[in-house]
Amino acid sequence: MSLLEVNDLQSGYGRIPVLHGVSLAMDAGEMVAVLGANGAGKSTLMKTIARILWVISGDIVFDGTPAVSLEPNQMTQLGLGYVPQEKNVFPDLTVDENLRMGGYLVKDGRVRVEQALSRFPILRERRSQRAGTLSGGERQMLAVACALILQPKLLLLDEPTSGLAPQVTAALIQSIVEINQEGTGILWVVEENPRDVLAHCARVYFLESGSVTRTDTGEGLLEDADLEGLFLGRKEQC
Q: What is the CATH number of the domain that holds 180?
A: 3.40.50.300
Q: Is residue 236 part of a domain?
A: no
Q: Is residue 238 part of a domain?
A: no
Q: Is residue 237 part of a domain?
A: no
Confidence bin at 238 (pLDDT 50/70/90): very low
Domain count, the chain: 1
Query: In this predicted model, what pLDDT tens digit does every residue of 5-37 receive, in sequence order?
Result: 999 999 999 878 999 999 999 999 999 999 988
* The predicted structure's pLDDT at residue 53: 95
Does residue 230 or residue 58 have the better pLDDT?
58
Sequence-ordered list of residues with C-beta below 8 angstroms from that of 177, at least 6 positions apart, any chain: 31, 200
* The predicted structure's pLDDT at residue 228: 63
Query: In this predicted model, what pLDDT tens digit does every residue of 66-80 receive, in sequence order?
Result: 999 999 999 999 999
Nearest to 217 by CA among 229, 200, 204: 204
* The predicted structure's pLDDT at residue 236: 42
Task: Give Dmax over CA atoms of the chain in angstroms.
Answer: 51
Q: Where are the beta strands (DSSP E) in the chain?
A: 2-13, 16-27, 31-36, 55-62, 65-66, 80-83, 154-158, 185-189, 203-208, 211-216
Confidence bin at 208 (pLDDT 50/70/90): very high
Q: Is residue 181 part of a domain?
A: yes
Contact 98, 138 (CB under 8 A): no
Containing structural domain, residue 109: 2-231
Instruction: Return the number of other C-beta atoms located less than 10 Å from residue 192's C-beta.
Output: 16
Q: Is residue 227 part of a domain?
A: yes
Confidence bin at 225 (pLDDT 50/70/90): low
Q: Is residue 132 part of a domain?
A: yes
Model confidence at 110: pLDDT above 80: yes
Concatenating the DSSP letter of every residue in 207-238 gives EETTEEEEEE-HHHHHT-TTTGGGGTT-S---
Q: Is residue 159 part of a domain?
A: yes
**Mean pLDDT computed over 35-44:** 90
Contact 176, 193 (CB under 8 A): no
Model confidence at 61: pLDDT above 90: yes
Sequence-ordered list of residues with C-beta below 8 angstroms from that of 28, at least 6 positions apart, any chain: 1, 3, 153, 183, 185
Burial class (CB in 10 A: 0-12, 13-18, 19+), 14: exposed
Model confidence at 237: pLDDT above 80: no
Model confidence at 231: pLDDT above 80: no
